[in-house]
Structure 1
Amino acid sequence: MNPPIDAETLREWRHAFHRHPETAFEEHHTSQRIIDILQQAGIEVVSGLGGGTGLVAMIDGQRGAGRHIGLRADIDALDVTEANEVAHASTQPGKMHACGHDGHTTMLLGAACSLAQNPDFAGRVYFIFQPAEENEGGGRVMVEEGLFERFPMEAVYGLHNWPGLPVGEAAVHDTAVMAAFDVFTLKLTGRGCHAAMPHLGTDTVLAACQLVTQLQGLISRETPAHETAVLTITQFHAGDAFNVIPESVELRGTLRCFDAQLHDYLIRRFHEAVDSAAQFHQLEVDFDYQRRYPATINTPEHADYCARALEATPGIQRIHRDMPPSMGSEDFAFMLQQCPGAYIWLGNGEDSASLHNPRYDFNDAVAPIGRDYWLSLINTLLAS
């Protein structure tokens, strides 16, 4: 039996992906490199999915019929300028793998190529390489294109590296892992006027400030204390002169939570607050509210499978079952809405820069652990 793909090969693959980051639905070089590696290992690949750059590889076990499962990695990068001075730094200006998807891709590739050398299991494993996880919903696109109809599977699994968590540690959540993610743009328009004569116009800045304060009450006073939600105004654009009350103000931000009923309630109350403020201040409203990603919710049974697989994974010293979920979001949620499964975190190191930071870099020491976790999960689920 051949050994798994070695750590040095994983490092070389990861560094190559890191040097050539590509953002949502533009991952052509990345996709082709994945295809080349898989085909060299003799693995069947279906490409051109998920808007064109996604792909699914498949391996059948030599023990015959059995369950079908899916393992997913995201392949896209971010519009971030890299600040790392390393030999494998991004060669694409303004783009970098600031979230570790180069590492996720590498770990799944390592598992696929290792499994192809010794497919000692029953059933079929689908290896899903998904584009456009960052904000653009590549997971949703793959689902809408018929991922689970074309590649029927009983369960689907994903993972993410986790800065701050030591290498060799992992976190498994029974249910909620990542929050739902919405974005909004709100434009309030009234009558601009001289700042010395506010009665001749409508004070859009005052209205917007009052609304920002009022909206926080949705979280502090209308969200049950045992639930978690965040509403954050991230942009406030208004005016360009000392002595003019601007005709319009634009606000942008995000709303995040886990519970679906609470989510619907907060959105309804948000609209009511906007309408009330606009009526009181006699303003026109242009409100664009977009539900981007649902909450990422594990199936408890499958979370237990992941924990069992981690227990048998070389390099894993500790498994956290009680870590709080993250208010960040993940479009793997679209897959979990359609198919049972689970999503875990693998420690990227206590000293790792945070995700989406220009100094972030995936920890190469994690790649063999992730490869072995995938192989352990396959063995846990399909060994007989």
Structure 2
Amino acid sequence: MSRSNDYARLEDFEAERETLTAMRHHLHAHPELSYEETRTAAFVADKLEGWGYEVTRGVGGHGVVARLVNGSGPRSVAIRADMDALPITEATGLPYASRTPGVMHACGHDGHTTMLLGAAEYLARTRRFSGTLNLVFQPAEEGGAPSGAKAMIADGLFERFPCDAIFGLHNHPGAPEGHILLRSGPIMAAGDTVVLTVHGKGGHASRPHLAVDPVMVACSLVMALQTVVSRSIDPTQTAVVTVGAFHAGEASNVIPDSARMLLSVRSFDPAIRALLETRIRRLATSHVAGYDASVEIDYQHGYPVVVNSDAETTFAREVAEELVGPQAVSTCGLIPGSEDFAYFLEKKPGSFLRLGNGVGSAMLHNARYDFADASLPVGAALWARLAERYLQ
């Protein structure tokens, strides 16, 4: 293990804490939704151009890619940060709270962007690496379909900006500030959405025998769906099927024609993902048929499983332990949330890390969430040291 001064140290970025914090607060106060990141992208691109990067704007929408070549090293690396915010009304009461009604950085992308910008400034100034550095500032991670990562790939990201590996991270509420978590193999779940519309036969509430009640049928189906994981999936594996929404009827004395429910389906293995779809389709169809009803199934495939490469994760762990010490680095448990960084890892080897946001941090996508400024120097130093070590 090398803690050589030839590579970026945490102390190098502690001195920049105020600058990083001010940058993050600016981004936090001016959030933009997926597909609308015009000001954020311009802010990022202007900074990078000022530091001497070759900057390409408009990659896959509002994406920004900054390229810096130094020395004659043959290797290239990409590091990604996401930029978009969420349609949530902020309730933190902070002096730098969102100035855009109904929009806030409730997932910490303001912090992710700031940390990569902090590393970018340091690497451009010190240039203690040999090879090609690609910094990817991605839009629309929260957008679902179409995903910002998928859009950047479709726009030729890896052909226009070749790299040998790609790295990214997300903050992690519940872990100590500055603590780094890693995991080889699957780390975050595939996330699919299923819309089930049960069609029955409407009628008068006083004469249910003349109708086919889709509310009763759909309620029965909700309970039946709870057996998909418990009776179809190996108990040593992990999967989730949640009915998150149910809509039917408008009056107490009317049996409606249909009932609609929305499911969230999570899994960590492609084979289990496929099995879940097969079981949900078969169960929904056969279950409602027993009540003389029918079902319309809209199965929407979301982000794939985030699968980290072993070699790149081992390398990232070495860098993290050099930076903050083994006591502040740990193995991450499986996370049932989803991330479109998965699309990058389907194309290139790499690793997606987690960075502690505080034991008492509000959860992600919560109106009281805020990124921990104490983690900014750690994240920036991590990216700088990782780039220097990869391109040594």
Q: Counterpart of 1:206 in structure 2: which amino acid?
A: M
Counterpart-to-counterpart distance in 2, 1:277 and 1:245: 19
- 2:307 pairs, out of 297, 314, 320, with 297
Q: CA RMSD in A?
A: 1.6
Q: Counterpart of 1:269 in structure 2: which amino acid?
A: R
Q: Do residues 199 (structure 1) and 240 (structure 2) align?
A: no
**1:121 Cα shift?**
1.2
Over the matched positions of the two proteins, sequence identity in percent amounts to 43
Q: Do residues 173 (structure 1) and 183 (structure 2) align?
A: yes
Q: Do residues 187 (structure 1) and 210 (structure 2) align?
A: no
TM-score, normalised by the number of residues in structure 1: 0.96
Counterpart-to-counterpart distance in 1, 2:49 and 2:156: 23
Q: Counterpart of 2:212 in structure 1: which amino acid?
A: T
**1:68 Cα shift?**
0.6
Task: State the match for 1:347 in structure 2.
Answer: 356
Counterpart-to-counterpart distance in 1, 2:230 and 2:389: 44
DSSP-derived class of the 1:293 partner: coil
Q: Do residues 31 (structure 1) and 27 (structure 2) align?
A: no
Q: Counterpart of 2:53 in structure 1: which amino acid?
A: I
Change (3 A) 1:167 1:256: same
Q: Select between 161-170 and 72-81 the one with higher mean Cα deviation.
A: 161-170
> Does the 8 Å CA contact 2:77/2:166 hold for their aligned counterparts?
yes
Change (3 A) 1:142 1:316: farther
Counterpart-to-counterpart distance in 1, 2:86 and 2:127: 35
Q: Counterpart of 1:82 in structure 2: which amino acid?
A: E
**1:135 Cα shift?**
3.6
> Does the 8 Å CA contact 1:170/1:345 hold for their aligned counterparts?
yes
Give a deviation string over 1:322-359, Cα, whole Å, max 9, x none: x3210000000000011000011110111111110100
List 4+ stretches of structure 1 deviating above 3 A.
1-5, 314-317
DSSP-derived class of the 2:177 partner: coil
Counterpart-to-counterpart distance in 2, 1:120 and 1:204: 66
1:72-221 map, 5 Å: 72-136=80-144, 137-221=147-231
Counterpart-to-counterpart distance in 2, 1:368 and 1:102: 14
Counterpart-to-counterpart distance in 2, 1:298 and 1:135: 22
TM-score, normalised by the number of residues in structure 2: 0.94
> Does the 8 Å CA contact 1:215/1:270 hold for their aligned counterparts?
yes
**1:317 Cα shift?**
4.3
1:363-374 map, 5 Å: 363-374=372-383
> Does the 8 Å CA contact 1:47/1:55 hold for their aligned counterparts?
yes
Counterpart-to-counterpart distance in 2, 1:91 and 1:41: 28
**1:244 Cα shift?**
2.0
DSSP-derived class of the 2:362 partner: coil
**1:92 Cα shift?**
0.4
Give a deviation string over 1:252-299, Cα, whole Å, max 9, x none: 121000110110111011111121133222324332111010010100
Task: State the match for 2:260 in structure 1.
Answer: 250
In structure 2, list runs of 5 or more residues that go unmatched: 1-5
Counterpart-to-counterpart distance in 2, 1:319 and 1:277: 48
Q: Counterpart of 2:198 in structure 1: which amino acid?
A: L
In structure 1, list runs of 5 or more residues that go unmatched: none
Counterpart-to-counterpart distance in 1, 2:341 and 2:69: 24
Aligned length: 380
> Does the 8 Å CA contact 1:202/1:282 hold for their aligned counterparts?
yes
Q: Select between 367-376 and 305-314 the one with higher mean Cα deviation.
A: 305-314
Q: Counterpart of 2:260 in structure 1: which amino acid?
A: E
Task: State the match for 2:3 in structure 1.
Answer: none
